[in-house]
Amino acid sequence: MVINGKGFSPEESAVYVSEKQDEIMVPVRTIAEQLGYKLSWNQNNKSIELTKGPHFHMIKIGEDQYNIAKMNMTLGAALSMVRS
């Protein structure tokens, strides 16, 4: 995986491809931090919150949507927590 010209090894940023190869899951923390976002976990509503200046995004575990600019957008698959 390469973000802003910086490469990441599979050990640093494992990418998961589903058995049908129709879904790809990427490490949100790695991507967010490389793009300058602060990532935090909200235990109360089981969501990942991303902030960068005035920008705020929220992704809830188990839901097929995320919040951007106060609008809900579809992801195409529900976010799941995968830890190695």
- Comparing CA positions, the residue from 80, 53, 47 lying closest to residue 66 is 47
User: Could you tell me if residue 81 is inside a domain?
Assistant: no
Split into its structural domains, the chain has a count of: 1
User: Could you tell me if residue 61 is inside a domain?
Assistant: yes
Q: What is the CATH number of the domain that holds 54?
A: 3.30.457.10
Q: What is the pLDDT of residue 81?
A: 60
> Among residues of the chain, what percentage have pLDDT more than 90?
13
List of residues 6+ apart from 21 with CB closer than 8 A: none
Q: What is the pLDDT of residue 39?
A: 92
Which residues form the domain of 17? 2-74
Which pLDDT tens digit goes with each residue over 12-49?
A: 677 777 677 777 777 888 888 888 999 999 999 888 89
Tokens of 32: 């967010």
Prediction pTM value = 0.65
User: Could you tell me if residue 18 is inside a domain?
Assistant: yes
User: Could you tell me if residue 84 is inside a domain?
Assistant: no
User: Could you tell me if residue 80 is inside a domain?
Assistant: no
User: Could you tell me if residue 79 is inside a domain?
Assistant: no
